Structure 1
Amino acid sequence: MEYAPDWLVTFLASEPLKDLVTMSAILWGIWYTRNKRIFDDQNVPPAVVRTWCLKQVEEWQQANKRSVSTRAHDDMLDNSDKKWKKLREGQLKVNVDGAVVEGRNFFSVGMALRDHHGQFIAGKTLKIAGGVSVMEAELIGILEALAWAREVSEAPHDRK
């Protein structure tokens, strides 16, 4: 498996988060525009890509604004003594994240399934109608991920 070169990791680790978010949005915009051109034979004007990228940065910033009460709650949940433990042979791990943008009547859930080596098996995203809190989105995401992980793990497939 090919990993990022050391110079890139060093560069990314030294950049402020604000710049990394902007850079990520721009790279995503370039990738999206490329795919529109190649797969849909559509040209997206640079001004539209720029506007879209700026909107993504703004939405990320809004989604990551945290209230004082959320920070206080996080402080109460000190996880410094928790460490990742390697899974046993045959075990799977699913990571879940929920995303809620204020003022929207939907939320999103993303999940990734990995084997005991940490190797990616499958990923899935859902857009679900309804206005919910972040906690509710996360809990619904966990329920969805458990059902999905069971389906994926029980499906016949070739694991090399």
Structure 2
Amino acid sequence: MRMFIWRFCKNNIPVSTLRWSKGVQIPLNCPMCSRDIENVLHLFFECDYARSCWQRTELVFDMRGVEYAADWLLEKLDSESDDRVINITKVLSWIWFARNKKVWEEKLIGSSMSVDMSSRQINSWQVANRNAKRVKPQLGQVVSSVINWKPPDRGWLKLNVDASVKKGDSNFAIGMVIRNEDGNFIMGKNLRIAGCVNVLEVEAYGVWVAIKWIEELQLKNVTVESDSSLVVQALQQGSEYLV
């Protein structure tokens, strides 16, 4: 949740206009209403879907004269009470969630359902934060996080692909994310495919799907990265085992 708000304030939410400015040729129309170009101000405030979401709260804002949504949110974070900030965050996050459902899964979620889902998500986030504050490291304990992702070379994109399969399931999932050299999100995709396969097979299939997706998008200078060392090694050695 903090990352979403940080990206919003940095004007780095990957709406269509932002992705277009980075060289991704996609339709610019708002996926929620198809009536206007999708920029941050339109998607979160001017779109009919967004207005319906805001109307389900007690929050009323006059957006006339607002040019930059990021500046507007920064001002609200500084001037509004904690409860109102949480509610503002709730509305923004459920609009973004519903928008992504529409874009990536072609599912339109009603504003009332989006409100309920976002409320549960934020409540869970608040509980997790409170619990985290109660847990203190023991003397000598080191708490750290390791980030292994490395940016691609200048002018290149990196596609990270991962796959998930559970023993006994009759289907598996594949997730893909494309970022640029600055680590900015360009686009993503997830699939659920029917079939009984093992972990190695699904990881290999994920790489194949990623390559096909790059071809469909007609992208150039893209590095595909998988966390399966066995698949990467087999591909580098030209192994026929994976075919």
Report the structure number with the largest CA radius of gyration: 2
Give the TM-score range, shorter chain.
0.3 to 0.5
> Normalising by the residue count of structure 1, what TM-score does the alignment of the two structures yield?
0.45
